[in-house]
Amino acid sequence: MRYAQSPRRRVLGSLIVFLVIVTLHRLSGPAGLVGFGKHADRVQIACRIWPDWEGSSPAQLVYENIVTEQSPHAFVGDAAFIGKKDRCLLAVSRLNQYQSSLDRNWDKVRWGEVQKRCTAAKLGHSLPEKVEMFDVWQQPPKQAETKFSPKERGQTAVVLRTWSDYNYTDSRRVWLRTLITETSLHSSGDHEVFFLVNVKNNIDLEDRDTYDRALGEFVPEEFRDMALLYNSRKLEKWYPKVAEHGAQDQMYQALQIFSHQFPHFTHIWQLEMDLRLTGHVHTTLESATAFSLAQPRRNIWERNGRFYIPALHGNSYEAFAAAVDLDTGETGIWGPPQTTDFEPKGPKPPPRSHRNWGVDEDPDLISLMPMIDPIGTDWIYETEIHNFADGTATPRRAAFVSMTRSSWRLLQLVSEAQRERGQWLVSEATLETFALLHGLKAVSVPHPITFDNNMTAETVEADINRGPVHSKAGGRAPSFSYTTSGWVTGPWFKASYWFAADDAPNRWHGYLGGECMPPMLLHPVKDE
């Protein structure tokens, strides 16, 4: 708390902030675009791909009301946290427009240029001279000089992780065009999309000719001016004190470099190429952010550590949060935990009586799965923690599926620890653990996840929330992890979102076939 206000005024102030956020979000319409008179008109024109093209504007998209009985039943989470749960965005109006035709040749679009033009219009600038991505990307390793306060929010990057051998089929290109338009163009440049391309050999990507040949070979022309190439050779140069640089262990190292080279992005979403969204992309991401912004820090790590099953809490997240508070009392994490030889860089926590601490605080980490305590889980990477003074006793958190929104600050703290002290964990525990140790705000967004419809809320609860109070989704051999003894029996193989689930493609193909679905995140979808 900044000033000595009364509890009533603090609550009222927090409520006003929350209502303002919700109101702006609702006024933004399906595409998440708030209008500001003539300036908004200029921006929308500049953000068009072709002068006469309206794109997936609200007028072009078709929404329908959802018939509850026909909607997929999500045992976990709530679609209201990532969009409007009672409305579906039909695939035919949304995706078909991105297929090439006689009057629209999408292969000729240069998405990086389109996004830069859109951003320039948003900021009231003329389109800058062409900036060579190669030159920015190849800056020497150094600590970025730009500093942002925790309250300041600049542009947001959306980084898609891909590979040099990724197959850009027609259906995948349609999805990528949809994602870029809905994210970057419909935010009027507040968001910008990039590809981080993992090259599967150690060629010298610092050589311009080699880099250009690889870019031409591995990335379709329409996406090349928004793509950045890297390989293990580059990661080793930046992080020589870290022993592992493969994607399985270091999913965030390339993103850390990205945050160095592009410090004007205060937040970065890292998404995977096999993620699909049934709701409007910008609306989904900003709704998740709004949910996270409104969360107080009191018992937030304990809420993060369990799945929200609405049917067991009267379909009320407030009732769920109250249940967590009742379970936890005043013993929950409050600020950084005690550690040896580690200097937390987060804010100093106020007294515990400040129960609204964290409301209106933009989180440094947004996760799309619970953040569990990995200690005692028998997770295959439980003991993979290096160069921390407390070793395997170091307090940690981990979330399975490394798709997140992270702050520039958090990525810089991780980068510094890896470069200067060689401190590292595997991908799923990296951002979560550093956020915990630094006392930063981190939020798990309970988006809807479906399972086998023959289950009940009670059987789901017994399978996925059977750990200790502070980490209910954890405990011994949690069902959504891979342990030293192999896979754990549980419902996850029939889930709509998980790293090894097989139901996400069925959901996506149903959506493409005309099924009216609420906003959902589907992963992995390996459509060709």
> In this predicted model, what pLDDT tens digit does every residue of 275-285 receive, in sequence order?
999 999 999 99
Burial class (CB in 10 A: 0-12, 13-18, 19+), 189: buried
DSSP result, 279-307: S-HHHHHHHHHHHHHT--STTHHHHHTS-
Contact 498, 523 (CB under 8 A): yes
Q: 433 and 397 in contact (C-beta within 8 Å)?
A: yes
pLDDT of amino acid 163: 96
Contact between 182 and 57 (Cβ < 8 Å): no
Whole-angstrom distance, CA of residue 424 vs CA of residue 384:
8
Whole-number pLDDT of residue 139: 82
Residue 245 pLDDT greater than 60, yes or no: yes
Cβ-based neighbour number of residue 3 at 10 Å: 6
Q: Which pLDDT value is given to residue 384?
A: 97
Domain limits of the chain? Answer: 296-409+423-487
Confidence of residue 117 (pLDDT cuts 50, 70, 90): confident
pLDDT, tens only, 345-399: 999 999 999 999 999 999 999 999 999 999 999 999 999 999 999 999 999 999 9
- Mean pLDDT value of segment 389-412: 97
Q: How confident is the model at residue 32 (pLDDT cuts 50, 70, 90)?
A: very low
| 189 touches 122 (CB < 8 A) | yes
Given a cut of 80, whether residue 2 has pLDDT beyond it is no
The yes-or-no verdict on residue 12 having pLDDT over 90 is: no
The pLDDT of residue 151 is 63
- pLDDT tens digits along 263-314: 999 999 999 999 999 999 999 999 999 999 999 999 999 999 999 999 999 9
Query: Is 188 within 8 Å of 43 (Cβ atoms)?
Result: yes
Residue 131: what pLDDT?
66
Query: How far from each other are the two terminal CA atoms of the chain, in whole angstroms?
Result: 52
> What HEC string does 325-369 produce?
HHHHCCCCCCCCCCCCCCCCCCCCCCCCCCCCCCCCCCCCEEECC
Q: Are 158 and 369 in contact (CB under 8 A)?
A: no
**pLDDT for 405 beyond 80:** yes
**Is there a contact between 294 and 21 (Cβ–Cβ < 8 Å)?**
yes
As a whole number, mean pLDDT of residues 443-449 equals 98
3-state secondary structure of 194: strand
Threshold 0.95, pTM exceeds? no
In the block, residue with structure tokens 């709701």: 279
pLDDT of res. 120 = 83
Strands 191-198 and 365-367 come out as: unpaired
